[in-house]
Amino acid sequence: MDPLRMADLSPRKKRPRQTGASMASPSQDVKFQDLVIFILEKKMGRSRRAFLMELARSKGFRVESELSDSVTHIVAENNSDSDVLEWLQAQNIKASAQLELLDVCWLIECMGAGKPVEVTGKHQLVVRKDYSASANPEPQKTPPLAVKKISPYACQRRTTLNNCNHIFTDAFEVLAENYEFRENEGSCLAFMRAASVLKSLPFTIISMKDTENIPCLEDKVKYIIEEIIEDGECSEVKAVLNDERYQSFKLFTSVFGVGLKTAEKWFRMGFRTLSKIRSDKTLKFTQMQKAGFLYYEDLVSRVTREEAEAVSVLVKEAVGAFLPDAFVTMTGGFRRGKKTGHDVDFLITSPGITEEEDQQILLKVINLWERKRVDSGKASQQEGKTWKAIRVDLVMCPYERRAFALLGWTGSRQFERDLRRYATHERKMVLDNHALYDKTKRMFLKAESEEEIFAHLGLDYIEPWERNA
């Protein structure tokens, strides 16, 4: 990008200049009504400006495409105070006391904080009293928060749901899924790991410099990051989203009970829609797939936390009927604090229970529900139905293994994967959802709580809501 290109010296006049009315992207909600940002293209370049605008809007900032009287904050990069003042003069805008002229470091800090940060001297581009070059040293660029050494293992990172790098991780997840559909495990894992590590960062990646010292970013990943920084989007992701095979696999696997093998088969047979598959007389469906089609609409809609809590009451009631001293714990995404999920996961255990009784209890619970369903089914048919089908995963475990089961079923998948990888490679131990085996001591290590398992592994404890890797 040539910074001296004349076209860069004024905002593009694709639309007439407007005053007052918001021109912020209509699809995103404005959270911070009090400030109206305009980002100067001059010396920053068009694509970086577009990227920053998109990013700021996605975080609830109002960003105008064109300079107007309603603008309160002008953000510039690589511009001196006099550059900006001169430019403003050319636009016929006076640098009033209300108008903040800021270096991009302010915006970057805001992106990291997820809200407007207070403007201080280091952000201000123009020292208004005396803006001679000598009185205004180069604006200080705030590097993203000093990055402590980041572990390549998700179980040594704290990953909350507050993801500052959605723009990148959403792209990675599409690519990873596409590789999964194409059974390219290596590339799938590379993009999942990259998404996972970016989710743990306390700042947003704004330039390639920010990616230095971040582990798990292979060259092909960095290439995508660079493209998104420069163009605001990734051409490969766009192509994948439009790809027929990807779209079909996504659609087919959205049916409960349909995995990659079945999706592949249907795709090869030439199917592209669910209605054609459903009505095909030659296809055989499993019990799960039949249920998947029958309750398709219900099952593709996300389960909310309120629904999960309601299910929890039902599960506790049903289990309590057979096992009065049972412990029922919601695990999976909801335990990690997610607001919605594709199912609701429960771990059930009880001090007295034997392994043989395990299976019996689940069958009894399911029979109980089945009877209730038949009874209520008589009263209300599918039409005018007042209930929603929800996927529920019930896991039972022996009481002594509950800590391992709880840790194993809380996820996320990436967190679990890295816990096992860490145990194997760093501790010569074997971890699964049932036990922890120390190969050096040749013994199983007992644990009454998740904290004890982390301690056995020599890891700092990571709370469930910090396991959203």
Catalytic residues: 343, 345, 393
Which two structure tokens, joined as six digits, stand for 445?
Answer: 């290590």
In the complex, what is the shortest distance from the CB of residue 137 to ligand DCP, in angstroms, rounded to a whole number? 50
Closest contact distance (angstroms) between CB of 436 and ligand DCP is 15
Give the residue nearest to ligand DCP (CB): 411
Q: Choose between 291 and 430: whose C-beta lies nearer to Mg ion.
A: 291
- Residue 464 in contact with ligand DCP, rule: CB under 6 A: no
Query: Tokens 């550059």 sit at which residue?
Result: 83
Complex with ligand DCP: residue 44 or 303, whichever CB lies closer: 303
Q: Between residues 42 and 338, which has the closer beta carbon with respect to ligand DCP?
A: 338
* Subset of 217-246 contacting ligand DCP (CB under 6 A): none
**How many Å apart are CA 447 and CA 421, to the nearest integer?**
19
Q: Other C-beta atoms within 10 Å of 143: how many?
A: 12
Residue 120, SS3? Answer: coil
Which of the choices ligand DCP, Mg ion, none does residue 409 contact, using the CB cut-off of 5 to 8 A by kind? ligand DCP
Contacts of 259 (CB under 8 A, 6+ apart): 253
Residue 343 touching Mg ion (CB under 5 A): yes
| Site map 131..170 versus ligand DCP, x via CB under 6 A | ----------------------------------------
Least Å distance between CB 388 and Mg ion?
Answer: 16
Please enumerate in sequence order all residues whose Cβ is within 8 A of that of 366, keeping only pairs 6 or more positions apart, or say none.
none
**Distance between CA atoms of 57 and 77, rounded to whole angstroms?**
18
Residues 66 and 23 sit within 8 Å (Cβ to Cβ): yes
Residue identified by tokens 């299976």 is 359
Is there a contact between 51 and 228 (Cβ–Cβ < 8 Å)? yes
Q: Binding marks (x or -) toward ligand DCP, 334..363, rule CB under 6 A?
A: ----x--xxx-x------------------
CB of 338 to ligand DCP, least distance (A): 5
Choosing among ligand DCP, Mg ion, none, which partner's interface includes residue 421 (Cβ < 5 to 8 Å by kind)? none
Binding segment for ligand DCP (CB under 6 A), chosen from 163-171, 196-204, 346-354, 411-419, is: 411-419
Residue from 81, 345, 416, 418 binding Mg ion (CB under 5 A): 345
Size of the site for Mg ion (CB under 5 A): 5
Cβ at position 316, least distance to Mg ion in Å: 18
Tokens of 404: 């391992």
Selected from 49, 411, 418, 419, the binder of ligand DCP by CB under 6 A is 411
Q: Hey, is 153 helix, strand or coil? A: coil
For residue 117, the tally of other CB atoms under 10 A from its CB is 16
Q: Which residue has the tokens 């659609």?
A: 251
CB 98 within 8 A of CB 72: yes
Per the CB < 8 A criterion, the answer to whether 206 and 144 are in contact is yes
Question: What end-to-end distance do the CA atoms of the chain give, in Å?
Answer: 36
Query: Which residue number, 139 or 408, has a Cβ lying nearer to ligand DCP?
Result: 408
C-alpha closest to that of 225 among 213, 215, 214, 211 = 211
Return the residues of window 320-339 that contact Mg ion according to CB under 5 A: 332-333
Per CB under 6 A, 409 contacts ligand DCP = yes
Locus of tokens 């410099």: 209
- C-alpha distance from residue 106 to each of 109, 116, 117, 206, 232 (Å): 5, 9, 7, 13, 20
How far apart CA 257 and CA 245 sit, in angstroms, is 19
Residue 187 CB, shortest distance to Mg ion, in Å, is 25
The single residue among 11, 292, 341, 464 that binds Mg ion, judged by CB under 5 A, is 341
Place of tokens 């230095």: 212
Residue number, 200 or 412, with CB nearest to Mg ion? 412
The first and second tokens of residue 440, run together, are 């050096």
422 binds, among Mg ion, ligand DCP, none (CB under 5 to 8 A by kind): none
How many binding residues for ligand DCP (CB under 6 A)?
A: 13
Site residues for Mg ion per CB under 5 A: 332-333, 341, 343, 345
Site residues for ligand DCP per CB under 6 A: 332-333, 338, 341-343, 345, 408-409, 411-413, 416
